[in-house]
Amino acid sequence: MHQDLPPSDWLLRWVPLLAPASRILDVACGTGRHLRWLAAHGHHVTGVDKARDAIAAVAHLGETIAADIESEPWPLANRQFDCVLVTNYLWRPLLPTLIASLAPGGLLLYETFAQGNEHLGRPTRAEFLLAPGELLQACGGLHVVAYENGFLDTPARCVQRIAAVRRIPGNDAPLHRLPAVQS
């Protein structure tokens, strides 16, 4: 089960950019592997997923919302978060909504499958695989801190991932101190 998996390396790499007790939205959170880790580290978590059983199992961690975000209205309209996290999920029509859900200075952490993965395993359908540069294009109005598109070997998969910050209007100061790279 996914709840037994460790948090995404991408999340662990960039979470130091967040202030303590940040408000974090985990989109398509599933069984809550990221919600559990983030809540245990003092963040205020909100998870949304269409799997009602999965959401119910992690309701004690913070706010949870059971919703089909592909066919129902966005359940978090007019709310903003310090971080929006998405892993292994892609619904292109939702990308502008996710970016709008970032508070000024907020961090988008997005990691999902990319073209090339169809040769390695699931997902294989084009609608679930990002084209090269697609996340960069979707995040055109954000300050991109990091972007990767390529092959990861454990487990074997092609991914695209981005860490991007919504600029604070009128503030030209450096956005964030980059975390030290772990070796």
Alpha helices, H only, 25-155: 33-40, 52-57, 95-100, 134-138
Domain boundaries, the chain: 2-13+21-165
**Residue 108, both tokens:** 């988008």
CB crowding 69-108: b at 16 or more within 10 Å, else e: beeeeeebeeeebbbbbbbebbbeebbeebbebbbebbbb
N- to C-terminal Cα separation, the chain: 28
**What is d(CA 75, CA 94) in angstroms, rounded to the nearest whole number?**
12
Q: pTM to 2 decimals?
A: 0.87
In the prediction, which pLDDT does 41 show? Answer: 97
List the chain pLDDT tens, one digit each, 183 residues.
455 778 999 999 999 999 999 999 999 999 999 999 999 999 999 999 999 999 999 999 999 999 999 999 999 999 999 999 999 898 999 999 999 999 999 999 999 877 665 656 676 677 777 788 899 899 988 999 999 877 768 776 777 899 999 988 766 555 555 554 444
Among 126, 64, 136, residue whose Cα is nearest residue 95: 136
How does strand 23-27 pair with strand 63-66?
Answer: unpaired
Superfamily of domain 2-13+21-165: Vaccinia Virus protein VP39 (3.40.50.150)
